[in-house]
Structure 1
Amino acid sequence: MPTTDKPSRVLTSLRTAVETLARSGPLTAPELAKEIGIPRPSAYRLMGALIQDGLATQQPDGAVSLSTKWLHFGDQALATATPWFHHEELLRSLRDSSRLTVYLSVPRPQRTVCVRRLHGQGVQVLVLHPGGSLPLHLGGVGRITLAFGDEEPEEYLAAHHPERFTPRSLETRKAILDDVALSRERHYCISDEDVTVGVGAVAAPVLTPDGQFLAALSIAGRRDDIVGREKDLARQVQTTAAKIGDTAEV
């Protein structure tokens, strides 16, 4: 029976250490050892390796935190998710004209993952961040992905128990399927406090000229900045989504 070799154990400990530092913030070696259940000497070696490679920095009190070098890795990883996208200026133009935060998200099994976010007004109240994800029955980008993506809504509902983020989250099978039908009819959807109380969004699908779904595009901000402007904002998002789809290099 095969056994786990030492390099694999080291990599597992290193991954766990990085995840713990990302979640908890700066830790000393003894604190890290306790958090992930490894001997103190091992924690010192892991932290030393991270610092030596520029992946972590040591503070005056001895605690260690992840360095900004990880941001570069994250940006590179997100970029590989949209090799067809080469027009950041379209997102900037949408952000500037709407003054809202712009999101571009790509489909993943039972979720949608944010790969671009351009800050607009009211960004402090927004939940989704680059690399973050939402289930397909929530938020503008999630619900548009469910309506236009490859994943069948019925199969999604059969495999995924819809969770609620707020009292206005879609939860029942009928409500979700009705929303899919309405999104397909209008070619956009409105998110009204279904992810975060006080926050709204308008989303549209990014499609190739032959109808292939590539991503969900949305603008989001305070609910007061959305309500009453839904149709105008929808036109802006749809126009930008169409330009992105037409210029995508698939």
Structure 2
Amino acid sequence: MTPERTNKVLQNATLAIDALGTHGPMTAPELAVALEMPRPSAYRLMSALVHAGLAEQSADGSVILSSRWLHLGDAALRGMAPWFHSDDVLEQLRDETGLTVFLSVGRGNEAVCVRSLHGQNFQVLVLKPGGTLQFYQGAAGRGLLAFGEVDPAEYLRAAPFPAVTPHTLCTAEELAADVVRTRELGYTVSDEDVTIGVAAIGVPVLDGRGGALAALSVAGVRDQVIGHEAGLADILKSAAARIAEASLPVD
């Protein structure tokens, strides 16, 4: 098989996996429509995914992603934060605040969620393990913009960014001021800038050199967060310090 043919096969397989992950069970005709490919090609593609163990065929003929992806996804998330061994800290944080807890790491210009624990109102929250926020969005994204490796001035050259809600900080001026405020306070406040009715507080998990390993945040309905920022930030900073301490190599 030529390199060009190999690349095309891999590209189609990736598109099919993404489609199954987004839409759930699909038949070959449905996949053909979604990917704008001939039906015979869709049948061959689905058969190959099933044969490789990456998909499973249901009794009705539709195909779903196999349980193998659970293992692969968990391994990928662990690989993004190999230093993290503090699930008990996240559980304590969730129990103490009653809010949903997120641990996110920076990748490119995104904050990638690698851990989440549901709080009392998890149904209103959209960020799940593997999910992402841009650096101008949310407590995790804006916290990593302020404390992470990306140069904020360089990042903000691409502003203004598209608004997610009427409260999203979009302009370079708004976000530059937010970076200054976040560094002064040591925490980030997200007030309905990603999801209406939802607010969050985030702090950096710092390594021994003062760089950000990750962003630790809690989120819930707005009334649970706004008006309680300082107290929640203190709890988060304590939890972040425990995570950072556990991540340091033992001499």
TM-score interval for Structure 1 and Structure 2 normalised by the shorter chain: over 0.9
| Cα shift readout 1:194-220 (whole Å, capped 9, x = no counterpart) | 111100111001001321211100000
Corresponding position of 2:207? 208
Q: How does 1:1-250 map to 2 (within 5 A)?
A: 4-249=3-248
Extract unaligned runs of 5+ from structure 2: none
Q: Is the 8 A contact 1:148 1:213 kept in 2?
A: yes
Name the CA distance, whole Å, in 1 between partners of 2:163 and 2:41: 41
Q: Which stretch of structure 1 is more off in the superposition, 203-212 or 5-14?
A: 5-14
Q: Is the 8 A contact 2:160 2:172 kept in 1?
A: no
How far is the alpha carbon of 1:158 from its aligned partner?
0.5
Q: Is the 8 A contact 2:159 2:171 kept in 1?
A: no
| Cα shift readout 1:9-58 (whole Å, capped 9, x = no counterpart) | 32222112111222222221122223223333332222223223432222
Q: Aligned residues, how many?
A: 248
**Alignment partner of 2:127: what SS?**
coil
Letter in 2 for 1:51: V
Q: Is the 8 A contact 2:205 2:241 kept in 1?
A: yes
Cα 1:210–1:69 shift into 2, 3 Å? same
Letter in 1 for 2:238: T
Over the aligned positions, Cα root-mean-square deviation in angstroms equals 1.7
| Cα shift readout 1:125-146 (whole Å, capped 9, x = no counterpart) | 1121111111112211111111
Extract unaligned runs of 5+ from structure 1: none
How far is the alpha carbon of 1:229 from its aligned partner?
1.8
Q: TM-score, normalised by structure 2?
A: 0.92
How far is the alpha carbon of 1:180 from its aligned partner?
0.8
| Cα shift readout 1:66-118 (whole Å, capped 9, x = no counterpart) | 12321221111010000111111111111111111111111122221111111
Q: TM-score, normalised by structure 1?
A: 0.93
